[in-house]
Amino acid sequence: MANSGRNRSMAEDLPDPRNWIGRTETAADTIDPSSAFRMSRTLDRDDPEPEEGDPLPPCWHWMFFAPAARPAEIGHDGHPAKGGFLPPIPYPRRMWAGSRIRFDRPLRVGDRATRHSEIADIAFKEGRTGKLGFVTVRHTYSGSDGPAIFEEQDIVYREPPAGGPNGGNVAPPPQDPPGQAEIEREVVAGPVMLFRYSALTFNGHRIHYDRPYVTGVEGYPGLIVHGPLIATLLVDLVRRNLPGADVAQFRFRGLRPTFDTGPFMV
């Protein structure tokens, strides 16, 4: 009970997260060929090494523009501490809940590109597993040809697991797909793949590579497969089966975590 009271007191001391609505930041990065080639290999593709001017495949833009926080600026979970650009939501467990993306034109290898981001909305809800905080960030990515990609990203913050770290420490049973897929692929996202994707996206979130942390602190049954990695694999499935097709729009929503405890289908 004392710990619960302390958590309430800490939450009451935080500034109102809704004051962050409208906050903006702009980041610049170079779409370098080495990162693109390593992403290709991480996705088990046999693409040739990219050359300057080649289009960056859809969803590979997430490799770039990550905040380069110094060690003292990183929270216990491995993310940059909240309260900078992102608001101080008073719940510790964070996940990428989904995105809605429009691809007007590709970024290109060699581009000096920018990402302009704005906090578009903040909402609090009561879910099946407790209180939730949602932050919607609106991104505009621009390259040498001008504005290229428009994205709305949803981030969800969750309360600690009920019953302590082991309260949710059971993997849910696999779910059958809603119908017969025309194209599908089995994916085995083991620790090496998750680590490589974290490295490529400069994502220090410990739930993706630190098993003692994700099971002992956040209460999950295994390493969590990145939501954007699953989204990238879905788009990659289209590229493998419909070569030459252009992806104009893509939206995805994460309903529950996917763990490294077994293969999954896309």
Chain segment 187-242, per-residue pLDDT in tens: 999 999 999 999 999 999 999 999 999 999 999 999 999 999 999 999 999 999 99
Q: b vs e for 79-105, b when ≥16 Cβ sit within 10 Å of the residue's Cβ? A: bbebeebbbbbbbbbbbbbbbbbebee
Confidence of residue 108 (pLDDT cuts 50, 70, 90): very high
CA distance 228 to 217: 23
**The pLDDT value given to residue 15:** 82
pTM over the 0.85 mark: yes
Specify the 3-state DSSP secondary structure of 12.
helix
- Mean pLDDT check: name the lowest of 48-52, 234-238, 261-265: 261-265
- Mean pLDDT check: name the lowest of 9-13, 43-47, 237-241: 9-13
- Find the CATH number of the domain harbouring 180: 3.10.129.10
Confidence of residue 7 (pLDDT cuts 50, 70, 90): very low
- Give the count of domains, the chain: 1
**The pLDDT value given to residue 12:** 54
Domain boundaries, position 260 = 2-265
Torsion angle in degrees (nearest 10) through CA of 50, 51, 57, 63: 80
